[in-house]
Amino acid sequence: MSQRFIGRALQTYDLFVHNYRVSAQVDTRHRTMNDVLNDRLTSYLELFDSYVSRVDQPGRIIAHYPQAMLRKDGVSFVIVPEEQSRPSGQRAYSYIGRSRYEVFLALPFIEVKGEMFMTGKLDLHHFLVKETEQFFPIGAGTASLALSSDITFEGEAFLVNKERTEFFGVTEPPSMSTRF
């Protein structure tokens, strides 16, 4: 076996860039996709067995490449299993003592709805400006095209690029909402 293949751990993901969905295998090297995307030592993802489709025609494959590269900062979001949405070593989310926020995100040409769980009150300024991670998790995600909401993409979790987030709206958790 070649040295190149030692430690390889290919996982299949749907990655969304501008107007395209790229379904591809990514070598995570036994890390979570959260770790891979937030690794500041690399600016590209190496993709294998990539299928490219336009987001408005997701069932029509326009290209297939056995090997490709993708700039991480150009990725709007990635659909991942829940366990891939958190950093390696972080235990499964405990919902006890955490507040659930429903979120709405406007990305270029795409709307994302889902949920976030946070300890205490969510401070959007701190979260978006001062947190260092470029990609953040959204649970129970649904994405739809802004101009054609009948086309949707769903997943256990999304990893969303902060830099591609143009609008970030949240609801207050029930315990923090004002009740009349």
Could you tell me which CATH number the domain at 7-78 has? 2.30.30
Whether residue 52 is predicted with pLDDT greater than 90 in this model: the reply is yes
Specify the pLDDT at position 93: 53
34 burial (CB, 10 Å; 0-12 / 13-18 / 19+) is buried
Mean pLDDT computed over 153-177: 87
Listed range (27-31, 49-53, 81-85, 94-98) with the worst mean pLDDT: 94-98
Distances (CA, A) of 12 to 61, 81, 132: 16, 10, 26
Distances (CA, A) of 14 to 108, 111, 127, 163: 17, 16, 25, 19
Bridge partners, residue 167, by sequence = 106
Specify the pLDDT at position 117: 85
Neighbours of 143 (CB within 10 A): 26
Q: Does domain 82-170 have CATH number 2.30.30.100?
A: yes
Q: Detail the DSSP E strand segments found in the chain.
A: 10-17, 20-27, 44-54, 61-71, 77-80, 99-107, 110-118, 135-145, 148-161, 167-170
Note the pLDDT tens digit of each residue in 90-142.
755 555 567 889 999 999 999 999 999 887 788 888 888 888 899 999 999 99
Distance CA 180, CA 175 (A): 13
Domain 82-170 in the same topology as domain 7-78: yes
**What is residue 129's DSSP assignment?**
I
| Domain-wise residue ranges, the chain | 7-78, 82-170
Q: Is the dihedral of CA 145, 149, 155, 161 positive or negative?
A: positive
| Tokens encoding 135 | 């990609």
pTM: predicted TM-score of the whole model, two decimal places = 0.88
If phi > 0 it is left, if psi is from -120 to 50 it is alpha, else beta; for residue 146 that is alpha
Specify the pLDDT at position 1: 33
Whether residue 3 is predicted with pLDDT greater than 80 in this model: the reply is no
Bridge partners, residue 121, by sequence = none
| Tokens encoding 90 | 């972080």
Bridge partners, residue 51, by sequence = 23, 64
Note the pLDDT tens digit of each residue in 55-99.
999 999 999 999 999 999 999 999 999 999 999 877 555 555 678
